[in-house]
Amino acid sequence: MVTGLILAGGTDINFQMNIPKQFVNVNNRPIIVYTLQNFQNHPEIDEIIISCLDGWQEMVRVYAKQFNITKLRMIITGGRDAQESTYHGLEAAREYMSKGDIIVIHDAIRPFVTERLISSSIKVCRKKGMGLAATNVMDSIIFSKDKKEGYQSLKRYELMKVQTPQSFDFEYLWDIHNRAIEQKQLGAWDNSSLLTNLGEKVYFSEGSDLNLKINTVEDVEMFKALYRMQHPEEEA
């Protein structure tokens, strides 16, 4: 079994719109719907779980019905951060998933995820037990604590930018999350940082610089522009 776990539980006080990022409408579709449709249409995804921002669960059910997301199995309440939201999803899936099953974790606010990226993540996971979408770093990177001054340049050719989707053997990731809780390793940004914090090695799958993550109002505008370029037949 391959399950897609969509993380849609976050809020961002710095996002300058009066609606959470994942629910902003673009061309009469919320951003989360673009993401869900990509998982719905992927031939290897058997079902979808959504870890959702509290108070938006019913709206997501409406979206799923409106846009024919038939693979949706359940909507659960997300946590305080990505680590907790992921754990809630794993806990819900624990009732029927086990070793050998694959869970594909993806940010709701990465609507440009493609079939190719999902397939690559699953393929590497089947070989290595995990597959984390990642790309090379092309910019110069300088370490800074206050965002005003920097003092250490990092070697970009030794760095990778980690994205989602991130696929894992279900039982392995379940054990990792429980180990993190026992060791009070909490508040990880994503599963790659959780794993490395625990001393685990991670394995990369194909990523893409077009796999945009919506963090700012400017990102919303970039998404609109890129989508229009890719789908000129649709009205803006």
Give the Cα separation of 45 and 2 in Å (integer). 5
Write down the pTM of the prediction. 0.92
- Per CATH, which fold does 2-132+162-230 belong to? Spore Coat Polysaccharide Biosynthesis Protein SpsA; Chain A (3.90.550)
Give, for all 236 residues of the chain, the pLDDT tens digit: 999 999 998 765 665 567 888 898 888 899 999 999 999 999 999 999 999 988 899 999 999 999 999 999 999 998 888 999 999 999 999 989 888 999 999 999 999 999 999 999 999 999 999 999 999 998 888 888 888 888 888 888 889 999 999 999 999 999 999 999 999 988 888 999 999 999 999 999 999 999 999 988 888 888 888 888 887 877 64
- What single-letter DSSP state applies at residue 157? G
Assign 233 to helix, strand or coil.
Answer: coil
What pLDDT score does 77 carry? Answer: 93
Looking only at the bridges linking them, the beta strands covering 72-77 and 47-52 are parallel
Give the Cα separation of 23 and 139 in Å (integer). 31
Cite the beta strand spans of 181-225 per DSSP E: 204-206
150-171 pLDDT per residue, tens: 888 888 888 999 999 999 999 9
58-69 pLDDT per residue, tens: 999 999 999 999
